[in-house]
Structure 1
Amino acid sequence: MSRSDAAWLAALAGEHLDLVQAPFTLPRSRILVFREGDGVRVHTSEYERALDDCRVLDALVVRNASGDALAITRVLPHAIEFGDGAVTLGFAGPGALTVGLGNAPGPSSPGSASVEWTTPDGEAQRAELGADAPAIRFDVSADRSVVTAASATHAVDVADGEALWLEWFAKCPVVRDDLQAMTAFCWWVLGANVVELPALGRARAVVPSKIGYVGLWQWDAYFIAVGLRHGDPVLAREQLELALRFPSPDGQLPDVVHELGVLATSDDLPPGDRENLRRAGSTIADPSAPVPLTKPPLAAWALAKVLDAEPADAWAREQLAVIRRSQDWWFAASDLDHDGLPEYGHPYSSGLDDSPIFDGPLPTTAPDLGAYLVRQDLELARFAERFGDADAAAHRTRAERTLVRLLELWDDERGIFRARAAGTDVASDTVVGLMPLLTGRLPEAVVDRLVAALADQRRFGTPWTVPTVAVGDPDFSDERMWRGPVWVNTNALVVEGLRASGHPALARDLAERTVALVVHGGGPHEYFNPFTGEKARTATTAFGWSAALFIDLAVGLSASPGE
């Protein structure tokens, strides 16, 4: 891709950089810049710390020679322009910001300007910009302290930031015209969410969001890798490698890999998470013994997709050894009632923390987990046949055995796959009951009932579909996380399930409706209201897996039929 093409895609992405839902940042940087009044405010991005606790500058305002605030007139991935470019704010490497005159001082330049800023402790400071000091640099330390100094390299620093972003956008997938602008923004999201984890050898993690989700969650990594593969398969493999790098001795994979270690049991939960669980009335906040925390087994599915983009056989064999042990762990250590169908021992291990299927006692037998385990064993069987390094028949036999147990959750009278709370049936009708489509092994009559449920306005047939809880369910809420809003990742899995279950036209239709939702909603938010298609009030913006899966769906929809 040419530099001009990359610049065009960067400009398309810039149209979404409102500094409210999408902050100004740089790949690998922990600095975030948001709009604030006449200027901006600055935060750092830290694991398990809210933005309000990570304040660097409460306000930074640029003024002209007359003392009037210069408005923000344009935002590009590499620069914020004030006063039509009279002054620009950019990065001077990942740890510093630079603010300077947009042109070298001369007859056509603004000549002078000033920068005012306020620190979190209320201290106000000011710097003049002119011929002798055309720019000021703000170096942000790990403790959020700031050191300022005059800078003579502002133009070079901004140009370096532009070059970095142009290199990133040169990898952006080219898709259908009606999806290209949002694809560019989603590609920006993935680049913006790159952070370094110094404790892991400066590893690059594409985090779910620099706003509140600064770590590598296991299944987020899988979804993000699926999108990244279309432009940066090396970085996609790096996400899988990080997610699979820290198995326990018995094969369990951790829920989160972060800069301070891993989150693999309830003993590792941050205090804020424990308090949230207590407020929800959950007894799991303070278990009598550590509860393993992991995420659904989608690793082999993601690995297969990443390898489709770029083969890496030797590397894949290393990852498969870890995935096989993880799959065995589910059956050996998470079949808590010893009936042959593993359970979730903690809501966090499902990824759908707030789903009503977890309102009852634990452990929870859930149809989505059964479906993922069947699909993963089938993927592992295909890998075993491809590489000749494992027993494919053993994986297929276990998949069939798990499918038998999964089908026992089918309630033919209601037309749903039921969950069970500590052995007792759960009445809730949720999106997890659609996940058995992923197996591609359901009886035709069951598939037909699930397909009908997707169109049923009393269940999942909302204007913007698929809600995570059926609209007719007493637990449905159009705004509350996993209790009704639409999530891009569950939609993408249903698309996969429809395709695997012999309904490619319906799969394509749902893919079209999902990308239309993201475009309509204004970006790849964490979750969406199923009636309005807008961002749900409490949803995070610029969300990693929503961006990645939008790209994956857009690429698929842009391919010629049959590709």
Structure 2
Amino acid sequence: MSLAALAGRRLDLITAPFTLPESRVLVFRDEDAADGTLRVHTSEYERRLDDCRVLDGLAVLDAAGRVLPVADVLPHRIAFGDAPVVERAKRDETPSGDVDAFRHFDSLRSLSTALGRSAPSLNDPVSAASLTFDGPGALSLSGSAGTRVRLAFPDGRVEEHPLEAGIRLGVVADRSVTVSHGDHAAALAACEARWDAWFAKCPVVRDDLQQMAAFCWWVLGANIVSLPALGDARGVVPSKIGYVGVWQWDAYFIAVGLRHGDPELAREQLEIAFRFPSADGQLPDVVHELGVLASSDDLPEGDRAKLRRTGSAVADPSAPVPLTKPPLAAWALRKVLEAEDAPDWARTQLATIIRSQDWWFTGSDLDGDGMPEYGHPYSSGLDDSPIFDGPIPTAAPDLGAYLVRQDREIADLLSRYEPDAATGRFLERAARTERLLHGMWDEGLGRFLAFGDGRRIDSDTVVGLMPLLTGTLPGGIRDALLAAVDDPARFALEWGLPTVAASDPDFSPERMWRGPIWINTSALVAEGLEASGHPERARALREQTVRLVVHGGGPHEYYNPFTGFKAERATTAFGWSAALFLDLAVMLSRD
């Protein structure tokens, strides 16, 4: 079975919409309808789906006026009809499922003959009608004699159009729809070729992980958007559902997964994240089609006032609050270069990373003690973590660990790409920062603590495990962190590593960053375990993490640590979860 067909098993049109790389059009099932009615939306920065409605209903009708159900979904088309091939492939991954497919094949041949078409393959079941993309901004439909499409518009209008000759639904900038004749066969072939080219790059991994890897590769392709304001740059966004921008942190994780199949696109994500540094080197939180989000002044006035109220306690409350993301740029750069070396490109990006690293020490050490702080929760990536329940700025052990790691990564990259450059200042700064990081260790509690405006925060969170990434912790501290990872009362839960210890009063299995499992923090802790001399425990955590994604039904934004399923408010088809699943699957398949 092709990788595209494997991915198609997961395209339920609810958690995974029908879309096309670089398209802003999304097609979903209408969950409130008992029939095969679909909804069409656009994908826009910081806008909810309900605010981006194109069609409230798209239904294919047979000659008798009956709404035809969705018969099958592949990345390049949706099929409508009564062919019974559909649900077996999506739900049954055992050999008996394939037997069921062959059992239904004769009935498909009969239907094919009735429609005057050639016999189908198992990967392309016959249907009475099909829907595909005709370029990024249009849908194409065609059907057998007597079929028609019913379109319900947000303003209450309803139109019906015959499908036998094929029609094209163009979605224009104001979300209105143009209806014209279209060459459906050509559109279908072009859409299939586009997806086939994408899946030709999909990493090949262990058999037990390949179906989910194919789906995760689909997620990364589906989440590609074109950013015309950036010279038609291709951004792989966290999700086309609201998250239509390139968040700095997300870009790093997404690039790490993309490198296994498309190193060029991986490099492009880093280029976007690095494109707009401030004059003092700070990298923005988000790059999007309308500009950048680098401080509270880049937000609407209501949001600016809220951010300032929760911003730096030692800065002028009327001043802009810088917004960025944790310093993992050199980490991501090194990993992308491991897949495909690009010396000239590396030197250019490295210069930007060095200025950004320097900014953390000159622009974000808000109390002047030598250890930079998060000036706002947004800059941590863990916005709702209990380490921000106290006053701000917040000195956190994860930030200290990232800074130590980044200075050492910079020194290594300079030695490789700029052999005449001096690296001593980066190594010396890493050593100073690590000494300050060790000062955040509480021997009595046996964990690293965060400090809000100098006051200790006792919450037991995943950020306290990140110092493992330095690989140079004293033996007693290292052993205590390993014990925490292995403690079923704290972090060793059945489905993975919670973001707040289960024994902590702040723990919640559903609240964002206050207990649910996130794939990125699990992957970073696994890397820290390996760096700290525990490769077997690192592998076990990686195996547990990919098992979670398979069990949970896909790469969601975050997971309930007790059930292993998507947390109620988490986004589906999430970019960095998909990318890091692929990275982990490749790693585990090589061992």
Q: Fold match, TM over 0.5?
A: yes
Amino acid at match of 1:182: M
Q: Which residue in the other structure is 1:94 paired with?
A: 136
Match of 2:157 among 120, 123, 126: 123
Instruction: Give me the whole-angstrom Cα distance separating, in 1, the residues matched to 2:301 and 2:219.
Output: 29
- Deviation of 1:403 (Å): 0.1
Deviations 1:41-65 (A, max 9, x none): 0000000111100000000000100
- Mark the CA change 1:374 to 1:550 in structure 2 (over 3 Å): closer, same or farther: same
CA 287–411 in structure 1, closer or farther in 2 if over 3 Å, else same = same
**TM-score, length of structure 2 as denominator length:** 0.90
Matches within 5 A, 1:147-546: 147-151=178-182, 153-270=183-300, 282=310, 287-387=317-417, 388-546=419-577
Give the conservation status (yes or no) of the 8 Å contact 1:524–1:541.
Answer: yes
Cα deviation, 1:352-374, whole Å, max 9, x if unaligned, reads: 00001011111000000000000
How far has the Cα of 1:272 moved from its partner? Answer: 7.8
Cα displacement (A) at 1:287: 4.5
> Counterpart of 2:138 in structure 1: which amino acid?
A
Could you tell me which residue of structure 2 aligns to residue 104 of structure 1?
none
- My pick for the range that moved more, 171-180 or 460-469, is 460-469
Q: CA deviation at 1:456?
A: 1.1
Q: Describe the SS at the equivalent of 2:56.
A: strand
Match of 1:136 in 2: 167
Percent of paired sites with the same residue? 67
Q: CA deviation at 1:392?
A: 1.5
Q: Cα distance 1:33–1:557, how it changes in 2: closer, same or farther (>3 A)?
A: same
Query: How far did residue 390 of structure 1 move?
Result: 2.8
CA distance in 2, matches of 1:13, 1:300: 32
Contact map agreement 1:244 1:319 (CA 8 A) in 2: yes
Are 1:229 and 1:306, in contact at CA under 8 Å, matched by a contact in 2?
yes
Distance 1:454-1:18 versus aligned 2 partners, 3 A rule: same
With over 3 angstroms needed to count, the CA separation of the structure-2 counterparts of 1:35 and 1:272, relative to structure 1, is: farther
Report SS of the residue matched to 1:481.
coil
The answer to whether the 8 A contact 2:252-2:270 is kept is yes
Q: CA deviation at 1:463?
A: 1.2
Q: CA deviation at 1:431?
A: 0.3
Q: Give the Å deviation of 1:18.
A: 0.3
Answering whether residue 76 of structure 2 is matched by residue 78 of structure 1, we say yes
**Within 1, Cα distance between the matches of 2:359 and 2:311?**
25
1:411-446 Cα deviation digits (max 9, x unpaired): 111111000000000011100000000011101111
| Paired residue type of 1:8 | S
Deviation at 1:112, TM superposition (A): 2.1
User: Which residue number corresponds to residue 147 of structure 2?
Assistant: 113
8 Å contact 2:311–2:392 — kept in the other structure? no
**Separation (CA, whole Å) in 2 of partners of 1:319 and 1:558:** 30
User: 1:229 and 1:53 mapped to 2: Cα distance?
Assistant: 34
Question: What is the one-letter code of the residue matched to 1:122?
Answer: G
What is the SS of the residue equivalent to 2:562? coil
Confirm or deny: 8 A CA contact 1:525 1:539 kept in the other structure.
yes
Normalising by structure 1, we get a TM-score of: 0.94
**Aligned-pair distance for 1:283?**
6.3
Q: CA deviation at 1:179?
A: 0.1
User: How many Å separate the matches in 1 of 2:7 and 2:50?
Assistant: 27
For these two proteins, the number of residue pairs brought into alignment is 540
| Contact preservation (8 Å) 1:277, 1:284 | no
AA paired with 1:199?
A
After TM superposition, where is structure 1 displaced by more than 3 Å over at least 4 residues in a row?
A: 270-278, 281-287
How big is the shift at 1:468? 0.2
Which of 27, 30, 46 is residue 48 of structure 1 equivalent to? 46
SS at match of 1:482: coil
Task: State the alpha-carbon separation in 1 of the partners of residues 287 and 574 from structure 2.
Answer: 18
- Residues 342-389 of structure 1: per-residue CA shift (max 9 Å, x gap): 000000000000001011111000000000000000100101211215
Describe the shift of the 1:357–1:384 C-alpha distance in structure 2 as closer, same or farther (beyond 3 A).
same
Confirm or deny: 8 A CA contact 1:48 1:270 kept in the other structure. no
Letter in structure 2 aligned against 1:399 = A
TM-aligned CA distance change 1:90 to 1:273, over 3 Å:
farther
How far is the alpha carbon of 1:74 from its aligned partner? 0.4
State the one-letter code of the partner of 2:551: H
- Alpha-carbon spacing, 1:276–1:505, altered in 2? closer, same or farther (3 Å): farther
Unaligned 5+ runs, structure 1? 1-6, 102-109
* Cα deviation digits, residues 503-553 of structure 1 (max 9, x gap): 000000000000000000000000000011000000000000000000000
1:216-271 C-alpha deviation (Å, 9 max, x unpaired): 00010000000000000000000001100110010000000000000000111246
Deviation for aligned residue 1:410: 0.3
Partner of 1:63: 61
Name the structure 1 match of 2:16. 22
